[in-house]
Amino acid sequence: MPEVVVIGGGIAGIQASLDLADMGVKVYLVERKPSIGGVMAQLDKTFPTNDCSI
Amino acid sequence: MSPEPEKEMKGKRDKPEKGSPVDRAGGESRRQEVDAAPAGEIRIGAFICNCGTNIAGFLDAKDVSDYARMLPNVVFSRENLFSCSEAGVTDIKNAIKEHKLNRVVVAACTPRTHEPLFRAACEEAGLNKFLFEFVNIREHCSWVHKGERDIATQKAKDLVRMGVARATRLEPKEEITTDVKRTALVIGGGISGLTCALSLARRGFMVTLVEREKELGGLLRYVNVLYPSGVSAGTFVASRIKEVKKSSRIEVLTSSTVQNVKGYIGDYVVSVSSKDRKSRDVNCGVIVVATGANQLVPEGHFGYDGKKVVSQLQLEGMLRQGKLKSKRIVMILCAGARIRERVYCSKICCMTSIKNATLIKKTVPGASVHLLYRDLQCYGVANEEAYLGAKAMGVRFVNYSLENPPVVENGRVRVSSPLSGREMSIETDLVVLASPLVPREGAEVVSRMLKVPLDENKFFLEAHVKLRPMDFATDGIYVCGTAHWPASVSESISQALGAASHASIPLTRGYVKVEPIVSELVDEEACRGCGMCAAVCPYGAVEIVETDKGPKARMIEVACKGCGVCAASCYKRAIGISHYTDEQLDAQVRAYLKGDE
């Protein structure tokens, strides 16, 4: 199985990891902080759908 | 199997004895001593989400949770601060195991974004994910009944009661697996379609690229240079066209249009008719819509005549061919955009104008350029630099208002600027109007054929603005570039690569799983094969087949979207919708009508 390292666990890193995993690629998602989510996890709602950011 | 919900509901509400299990705090199970759910026993866990203050700020989630615990078949309930957080999901998983739950109801934000998460939680705890029921108390209660706490709380209780009634009758389901043909069809041969086709081909998939015009290249064929690189648009797009033509995996069909689309993800059949070729069917697994946009010809705006008052695209042509003779140029932005008839901002026209203004200042000695704007969109480092550069070079930026727009007269433009408070009269040889990108005329036809939606401005509408920006809600169909919304060249390329990436997920796997929410022939005896269902199905998912019992309806599960039109049209009531059965919906309605008293 091909393997990929994604550096950064914010929304971009998470989405890239998910898409790669969906394609059957083994992903190592590396995040400096204790939890993934990045800045987006600190937001309340996102425009324009008012979806909860986290 | 399940007890009469109505009766039991009443009984429980009437006598919640002190010290009885339902009275316990903390949502403990009433039957903790039970090791395994006896066969046929329904054990529902209800989780009410506070969503911080998004829900709990407008209704009493604790009250709803206490209420849920008293409903028939509910053995556990709890309010959660954030049900979707890791703690919340773990809580659900633990409760499933601890309390032997065999149905889960979550009352929270919206199934659109969160149903997959909670379904997955059920699955990970060993519960079939179709035994999960979502109750939408954010959009249906807290959002629409702000400032009416009691009403919102009551409605949440009603919805939870209905959800519990349906959950009681849910059945385990398996997703439908279907093979995916590993080929793609890209509609549109502009920069987006070219880029997407190339990306898919490089991943090893065969691609058919359909272009309506005789030539590939789209709008870029008429553009002079690209900003901020200054690269010739013609040279740039020509290099992409060359690569596409060289690729052994891409078949290019020019002067061709899509006539008809049948099938579903993994197995689409697209009829393509060509001017210079015989019409034929293309069989493909996925479809990408890259049909692009047009620049609005600004007829009726600021005296547009196509000669002395031209569009930016016409100016691009003059610059490209070295035919610009004018020295005193006035550009008017938002020509036909952000007005009552066309409310949206086309996003790229500010930078196109700044690009051309700068170019004129650089290449035409002694040229003067006035740029009349309402607001300026110069997002990003490169764009901001280009704006500042234009200013430094002497491009005059003059602000105007919608209420008091510039007036173009013979050889003059009169404008009053709210910022400076001055009235100006600018002498000019050429007025250039920056008009917005507008959808292609063919967009509606493509939208109808593919059964994918357009937004209120007739651009294609994605499945979710943030979570699925390049996908349509219909599986296996993707969108990129200006067909979706005005975009710069670099944005179009990013989107094209994104669409190719997403499209290659099913192509790489070779199979997809489809929701089993489909129509089914629930009463074969009753079916008389009249064909009404097949006639009304918008997806070609019903066919009438000859059986030993006579003609009968047969469902093509993977093509079915579960809309229910066939079931509604069947006068013999022979058709039902799986996972939304009459019994389940009936139970919901009865639970509502019964009230909670």
- Which tens digits make up the pLDDT trace of B213-267? 999 999 999 999 998 888 999 999 999 999 999 999 999 999 999 999 988 899 9
Contact A54 B85 (CB under 8 A): yes
d(CA B557, CA B514) in angstroms, rounded, equals 9
| Domain B37-173 = CATH 3.40.50 | yes
d(CA B199, CA B197) in angstroms, rounded, equals 5
Contact A50 B501 (CB under 8 A): no
In angstroms, what CA-CA distances link B327 with B24, B43, B97, B365?
A: 85, 81, 79, 8
Which range among A9-13, B34-38, B276-280, B429-433 shows the weakest confidence by mean pLDDT?
A: B34-38
Q: Quick one: average pLDDT of B400-414?
A: 96
* B33 has pLDDT over 80: no
CB B131 within 8 A of CB B122: yes
* B597 has pLDDT over 50: no
Q: For tokens 């086309």, what's the residue?
A: B346
Which range among B50-59, B63-72, B213-222 shows the weakest confidence by mean pLDDT?
A: B50-59
For residue B166, the model assigns a pLDDT of 97
By CA distance, what is A46's nearest residue in B?
A: B466
Contact A49 B464 (CB under 8 A): yes
- Return the ∠ at Cα A34 (arms to A32 and A36), rounded to 5°: 80
Q: Which residues contact B536 (CB under 8 A, 6 or more apart)?
A: B565, B566, B569
Q: Output the six-digit token pair for B413.
A: 């433009």
CB B16 within 8 A of CB B70: yes
CB B519 within 8 A of CB B576: yes
**Chain A CB within 8 Å of residue B502 CB:** yes
Cross-chain CB nearest to B466 (options A19, A24, A46) = A46
Q: Which alpha helices (H) appear in B259-409, and where do they start and end?
A: 312-320, 349-363, 381-392
Contact B508 A46 (CB under 8 A): no
For residue B457, the model assigns a pLDDT of 95
The rounded mean pLDDT for chain B is 91
For residue B10, the model assigns a pLDDT of 37
d(CA B264, CA B286) in angstroms, rounded, equals 9
d(CA B346, CA A43) in angstroms, rounded, equals 28
Looking at the complex, report in whole angstroms how far the Cα of residue A10 sits from the nearest Cα belonging to chain B.
14
3-state SS class at B31: coil
Chain A residues touching residue B466 (CB < 8 angstroms):
46, 49, 51
| Domain B326-432 = CATH 3.90.700.10 | no
Cross-chain CB nearest to B502 (options A19, A50, A54) = A19
CATH class of B517-577: alpha beta
* B18 has pLDDT over 60: no
* B273 has pLDDT over 90: yes
Q: Output the six-digit token pair for B496.
A: 């094209």
Q: Tell me the β-bridge partners of B183.
A: B206
Which range among B9-23, B48-62, B416-430 shows the weakest confidence by mean pLDDT?
A: B9-23
d(CA B470, CA B498) in angstroms, rounded, equals 7
Share of chain B above pLDDT 90, in %: 85
Contact B509 A19 (CB under 8 A): no
d(CA B181, CA B509) in angstroms, rounded, equals 10
User: What is the 8-class DSSP label of residue B266?
Assistant: T
Q: For tokens 């629930």, what's the residue?
A: B522
Could you report the per-residue pLDDT of B154-184, keeping only the tens digit for each? 999 999 999 999 999 999 999 999 999 999 9
Domain map of chain B by residue range? 37-173, 183-292+440-512, 326-432, 517-577
Q: Which alpha helices (H) appear in chain A, and where do they start and end?
A: 11-22
Chain B residues touching residue A49 (CB < 8 angstroms):
464-466
By CA distance, what is A21's nearest residue in B?
A: B505
For residue B289, the model assigns a pLDDT of 98
If we measure between CA atoms, which residue out of B20, B42, B21, B18 comes closest to residue B30? B21
- Is the ipTM of this structure higher than 0.95? no
For residue B35, the model assigns a pLDDT of 39
Burial group, residue A32, by CB count within 10 angstroms (0-12, 13-18, 19+):
exposed
Chain A residues touching residue B81 (CB < 8 angstroms):
none
3-state SS class at B385: helix
* B34 has pLDDT over 90: no
3-state SS class at B219: helix
Chain B residues touching residue A22 (CB < 8 angstroms):
505, 509
**Number of cross-chain residue pairs from A and B with Cβ atoms under 8 Å apart:** 31
CATH level 3 topology of B183-292+440-512: FAD/NAD(P)-binding domain (3.50.50)
pTM score of the predicted model: 0.85
For residue B276, the model assigns a pLDDT of 74
Burial group, residue B419, by CB count within 10 angstroms (0-12, 13-18, 19+):
exposed
- Return the ∠ at Cα B280 (arms to B275 and B284), rounded to 5°: 125
Q: Which residues contact B547 (CB under 8 A, 6 or more apart)?
A: none
Could you report the per-residue pLDDT of B181-205, keeping only the tens digit for each? 999 999 999 999 999 999 999 999 9
Looking at the complex, report in whole angstroms how far the Cα of residue A26 sits from the nearest Cα belonging to chain B.
14
Residue B356 backbone phi and psi in degrees, to 5: -70, -35
User: Distance between alpha carbon B457 and the CA centroid of its chain, in Å?
Assistant: 14
For residue B113, the model assigns a pLDDT of 86
Chain A residues touching residue B497 (CB < 8 angstroms):
none
d(CA B499, CA B485) in angstroms, rounded, equals 14
Q: Tell me the β-bridge partners of B431.
A: B309, B330
**Chain A CB within 8 Å of residue B100 CB:** no
d(CA B552, CA B572) in angstroms, rounded, equals 12
d(CA B564, CA B518) in angstroms, rounded, equals 8
Chain B residues touching residue A9 (CB < 8 angstroms):
none
Q: B14: pLDDT confidence band, cut at 50, 70 and 90?
A: very low
If we measure between CA atoms, which residue out of B286, B293, B312 comes closest to residue B301? B312
Could you report the per-residue pLDDT of B409-439, keeping only the tens digit for each? 989 999 999 999 999 999 999 999 999 999 9
For residue B39, the model assigns a pLDDT of 66
Residues of chain A contacting B, Cβ within 8 Å: 19, 22-24, 44-46, 48-52, 54
Contact A52 B51 (CB under 8 A): yes
Asked if the domains B183-292+440-512 and B326-432 are classified in one and the same CATH topology, the answer is yes
**Chain A CB within 8 Å of residue B456 CB:** no
Q: Output the six-digit token pair for B426.
A: 């600018």
Cross-chain CB nearest to B508 (options A23, A46, A49) = A23
**Chain A CB within 8 Å of residue B592 CB:** no
CB B538 within 8 A of CB B563: yes
Contact A19 B466 (CB under 8 A): no
Q: Where are the beta strands (DSSP E) in B11-112?
A: 44-49, 74-80, 103-108
Chain A residues touching residue B465 (CB < 8 angstroms):
48-49
**Chain A CB within 8 Å of residue B509 CB:** yes
Q: Quick one: average pLDDT of B457-482?
A: 94
Greater model confidence, B427 or B22: B427
Q: B588: pLDDT confidence band, cut at 50, 70 and 90?
A: very high
For residue B38, the model assigns a pLDDT of 57
For residue B596, the model assigns a pLDDT of 59
What's chain A's length in residues? 54
